Chains A and B, each alone.
Chain A
Amino acid sequence: MATENPNADGFGEVSRVRGILFEYLSFGASVFGLVALGVLLVYVAIDAFDLANASPEWLLTYFLTLVVPFLAFCLYSANDRDVTRRALVALGGGLVAVAVLFSAIEALLVPIPRLNWQLAYLFVVAAPVTAYLAYVGSRGRLGAVGFGLLGRLVGGVAVGLAVGTLFLVLDALLWFLAYTIGVLPAVGLYALGRVRSSPRARTAAAPVGLVGLTAAVFLRDVVATYPSDLIIYLWTIAIPVAAAGAFLVAGRRGRTAGAVVGGVPLAAATAGGFLAAGAGLPAPTVLLAIVLTGVPTAVYVSRVVDGGEGLAGLGLPLLLAAGAIAGALIVEALGVPAPNPWLDASFLTQAPSRTPEQAGLYPAIVGSVIIIAMVAVLSFALGVGTSVFLEEYTPESGALGTLTRILQVNIANLAAVPSVVYGLLGLGLFANLLGLGIGTAVTAALTLSLLILPITIISAQEAIRSVPDDLRRGSDAMGATRWQTTKNVVLPEAMPGILTGTILALGRAIGETAPLIMIGAATTVFRAPDSLFSRFSAMPMQIYTWAGFPQADFRYGVVAAGVITLLIILVGMNGTAILLRNRAERGS
Chain B
Amino acid sequence: MSNSTTDDSLITTEVQTDSNDGRAAPAAGTAVAARDLDVFYGDEQAIDDVTMEIPEKRVTALIGPSGCGKSTFLRCINRMNDMIEICRVEGDVEFGGKNVYDDDVDPVALRRKIGMVFQKPNPFPKSIRDNVAYGLKIQDFDGDVDARVEESLKGAALWDEVKDQLDSSGLELSGGQQQRLCIARAIAPDPEVILMDEPTSALDPVAASKIEDLIDDLAEEYTVIIVTHNMQQAARISDRTAVFLTGGELVEYDDTAKIFEDPEEQRVEDYITGKFG
Contact = CB atoms under 8 A, between A and B. Distances in A.
Contact of B138 (A199, A395, A470, A488): A488
Interface string B112-125: 11011010101111
Nearest to B116: A477
Interface string B58-85: 0000000000000000000010100101
A493 B126 CA distance: 9
Given A477-B111, A480-B108, A397 B85 contact: yes
A488 B182 CA distance: 16
A236 interface: no
B171 to A, nearest CB: 9
A102 to B, nearest CB: 53
A583 interface: no
B144 to A, nearest CB: 9
23 contacts: A197-B142, A397-B85, A470-B120, A471-B124, A473-B83, A474-B123, A475-B124, A476-B111, A477-B78, A477-B80, A477-B111, A478-B112, A478-B116, A478-B134, A478-B138, A478-B185, A478-B189, A479-B108, A479-B139, A480-B108, A488-B137, A493-B125, A588-B125
A146 B42 CA distance: 63
Nearest to B110: A479
Contacts of B147: none
Contacts of B116: 477-478
B140 interface: yes
A478 B111 contact: yes
B125 A488 contact: no
Interface of B: 78, 80, 83, 85-86, 108-113, 115-116, 118, 120, 122-126, 134-135, 137-140, 142, 169, 182, 185-186, 189
**For the complex of A and B, 10 pairs with smallest distance between CB atoms:** A479-B112, A477-B116, A479-B111, A470-B122, A588-B125, A474-B122, A478-B135, A480-B138, A484-B138, A481-B108
B112 A473 contact: no
Given A197-B142, A473-B83, A473-B118, A492 B137 contact: no
Interface of A: 197, 199, 395-397, 468, 470-471, 473-481, 484, 488-489, 492-493, 588
A515 B37 CA distance: 61
Nearest to A479: B112
B118 A470 contact: yes
A395 B87 CA distance: 13
Nearest to A397: B85
A437 B116 CA distance: 57
Contacts of A473: 80, 83, 118, 122
A468 B122 CA distance: 9
Contacts of B85: 395-397
Contact of A199 (B109, B126, B140): B140
A578 to B, nearest CB: 20
B134 A588 contact: no
A479 B135 contact: yes
Nearest to B131: A474
Contacts of B186: 477-478
A568 B186 CA distance: 50
A475 B83 contact: no
Contacts of A489: 124
Given A481-B108, A588-B169, A471 B83 contact: no
B181 to A, nearest CB: 11
Given A476-B83, A477-B116, A492 B108 contact: no
Given A197-B142, A471-B122, A588-B169, A476 B80 contact: yes
Given A474-B182, A588-B125, A479 B109 contact: yes
Nearest to B171: A588
B210 to A, nearest CB: 20
Contacts of A199: 140, 142
B118 A474 contact: yes
Nearest to B130: A488
Contact of A479 (B118, B123, B126, B138): B138
A114 B132 CA distance: 65
Contacts of B108: 479-481
Contacts of B110: 479
Given A474-B122, A478-B186, A480-B134, 7 more contacts: A396-B85, A397-B86, A476-B111, A477-B78, A479-B111, A481-B108, A489-B124
A479 B120 contact: no
Contacts of A474: 118, 122-124, 182, 185
Nearest to A398: B85
A496 to B, nearest CB: 11
B134 A492 contact: no
A470 B121 CA distance: 9
Contacts of A492: 125-126
Contacts of A471: 122, 124-125
Contacts of B86: 397
Nearest to A396: B85
